[in-house]
Structure 1
Amino acid sequence: MKNLKVGLISHKFYGTKSATIARTKELIAEAAKKGANLIVLQELHQTHYFCQRENTENFDYATNFEDDVKFWGSIAKEFGVVLVASLFERRSAGLYHNTAVVFERDGKVLGKYRKMHIPDDPNFYEKFYFTPGDMGFAPIDTSVGRLGVLVCWDQWYPEAARAMALRGAQVLIYPTAIGWFMGDDVAERIRQLEAWVAVQRGHAVANSLPVIAVNRVGFEKATLSEISPKEILSNSKKAYKAGNACDDEGILFWGNSFVFGAQGEEVFRSECESELCEVVEIDMQRCENVRRWWPFLRDRRIESYGSLLKRFDD
């Protein structure tokens, strides 16, 4: 495909799963109407970002994984788009993954990717919930190209981007949920955001591939402990009210979803506050041209990279 039209969709949490999904569907319809043939959703887009606290009840969010897969397959088919969804997968009792699922235009599941790098930081207690992926870095073939789908924390690791590139990925995609702690000062917030943008721009340059990142927006409280997952999964008015309340403890997701081209050129970047439904056109032929001009893969000294397989080369 010479030109890829990708729809970037980012929105706040609407208090319940059903209300949030309804908003997602509205935005997918809008992106499809604008001509998107690939649509990327934000990380864990069906619910609030529950990893801010360790709570075993939150595993209930993964119990309907199979039904969620069927539903998003039907959405991909309804709008005739390749769709990248980000879901909480219950693989077995006590074994859960943060999983991106890729659907073809006809609703068929083409493949999935289980998040490999799992953070464990204040308000991002993902190691409590997610087992590291065991499917490797395998691009997924679709009607719009070979997609190198990764997830959020993976975006800090050049090894992950390179591994996808070496297996023929034609574009790198990152559904994301990252933001600011309310206690950080403005200067620190700017440093964090620009570091996040810079490292992914570097992936585009180093691999001569477009990079797409779709990040959450809005403020989410650190805890909804007074609201059970069952209420959030339903149409509970109590859950909706709690999901839209704001205090000083939580994450202000910083938006700034973007697309970089194969030379790291900025094709699109959103701002930090508004919900997003943007269709961005990517010239895929440039990837071939850039790799002819800058043959980084040709000049790699693969015989000298053994230390990359060590935790620390001391």
Structure 2
Amino acid sequence: MSSSPASELLTLGLIQMSCVDDKTANVEKALERIAEAAARGAQVICLQELFHNHYPCQTEDHARFAEAEPIPGPITEALSQAAAKHGVVVIGSLFEKRAAGLYHNTAVVFDADGSLLGMYRKMHIPDDPLFYEKFYFTPGDLGFRAFQTRFGKVAVCVCWDQWFPEAARLTAMQGAQVIFYPTAIGWLSEEKETFGTDQHSAWQTMMRSHAIANGVYIAAPNRVGSEGALEFWGGSFVADPYGVVAAQASHDEEEILLFECDLAKIDVARTHWPFLRDRRIDAYQGITRRWLEE
């Protein structure tokens, strides 16, 4: 390969933590982890999906709606203050109460001065055993977005979004240099022995493919620990624009995963693997249809 341009360094901090059934305690822990990550040099810090409490969607329980907050609200105010205090970008995933009977799984992005750059509402909502999210969340209506921060242009999708190449492509096309995927994914106890390794491999492989196809960094912070029948598998990781897993956390411990990205690598990857150049945008009309064989 030809020589690369000058480095453009950006340090990511992924917070992998366990949660207890206590909203205040979880938020306080997250704020402590943000402070620690910032002290260790992180510039953009991302929390896991719905970090405020136990993952709420293992059952369909109307009482769980009481956990939701408006935006702005107490959690977003705390994240804003943390971003400003430490001079870092903070990304958090929240249970948003938009209106009575209208709730979203929403990510917020705060710049290093504490200002709210914007929100992303989770677009793809799953409905699987112990992941009954359709009961709680309305699909997002803000589209796929990227945000210019003090340190670089970042974007966020949420968990189930990570399985859809269209989401990654449209997000990258907004100019994102790093796509974050705050996640809550784990093993069902009765499936882990037989399918656990393959499930984790598929999860990681899917996001590595997004990194390759779009020439971006991918960063996925996942929760860890057991909650009810779910064992969250941690494994938070960063993939570079070639799809290489450049940093990875353990499966069973709380961690702050730090990684220094060289943003100049994006242009190098895209010029050597010119997928964006060779896209046939004139031939993709069918992608907006549900199925073509009809």
Give the TM-score taking structure 1 as reference length. Answer: 0.89
Identify the residue that residue 73 of structure 1 maps to in structure 2: 80
SS in 2 for 1:172: strand
1:276 and 2:283 matched: no
Q: Summarize deviations over 1:90-139 as a string: whole Å, max 9, x none.
A: 10110000000000111110011000000000100000000000000111
Distance 2:69 2:147 in 1: 25
SS in 2 for 1:290: helix
Distance 1:26 1:9 in 2: 10
Deviating above 4 A after TM superposition, structure 1's stretches of 4 or more consecutive aligned residues are none
Identify the residue that residue 25 of structure 1 maps to in structure 2: 31
Q: Which amino acid aligns with 2:244?
A: E
Q: Summarize deviations over 1:121-175 as a string: whole Å, max 9, x none.
A: 0100000000000000111111121112100000000000000111211111100
Q: Which aligned pairs between 1:52-71 and structure 2 lie closer than 5 A?
A: 52-63=58-69, 65=71, 66-71=73-78
Identify the residue that residue 148 of structure 2 maps to in structure 1: 141
Identify the residue that residue 125 of structure 1 maps to in structure 2: 132
Higher relative contact order, chain-length normalized (CA < 8 Å, sep 6+): 1
Q: Summarize deviations over 1:233-258 as a string: whole Å, max 9, x none.
A: xxxxxxxxxxxxxxxxx110000100
Match of 2:230 among 251, 255, 280: 251
Of all paired residues, the percent bearing the same amino acid is: 47
Identify the residue that residue 263 of structure 1 maps to in structure 2: 242
Aligned residues: 286
Q: Which amino acid aligns with 1:120?
A: D
SS in 1 for 2:292: coil
Identify the residue that residue 202 of structure 1 maps to in structure 2: 209
Distance 2:198 2:64 in 1: 32
Identify the residue that residue 290 of structure 1 maps to in structure 2: 269
Q: Which aligned pairs between 1:77-88 and structure 2 lie closer than 5 A?
A: 77-88=84-95
Match of 2:191 among 171, 184, 195: 184
Q: Summarize deviations over 1:214-238 as a string: whole Å, max 9, x none.
A: 00100001xxxxxxxxxxxxxxxxx
1:164 and 2:171 matched: yes
**Pair 1:101–1:32, CA change in 2 (3 A):** same
**Pair 1:107–1:293, CA change in 2 (3 A):** same
SS in 2 for 1:291: helix
SS in 1 for 2:155: strand
Distance 1:211 1:217 in 2: 19
1:103 and 2:110 matched: yes
Distance 1:89 1:15 in 2: 18
Distance 2:74 2:158 in 1: 21
Distance 2:11 2:69 in 1: 33
SS in 1 for 2:109: strand
Distance 1:145 1:117 in 2: 26
Residue pair 2:35, 2:82 contacting (<8 A) in 1 also: no
Deviation at 1:64, TM superposition (A): 5.4
**Pair 1:104–1:299, CA change in 2 (3 A):** same
1:45 and 2:51 matched: yes
Give the TM-score taking structure 2 as reference length. Answer: 0.95
Q: Which amino acid aligns with 2:16?
A: S
Q: Summarize deviations over 1:190-210 as a string: whole Å, max 9, x none.
A: 111100000000000000101
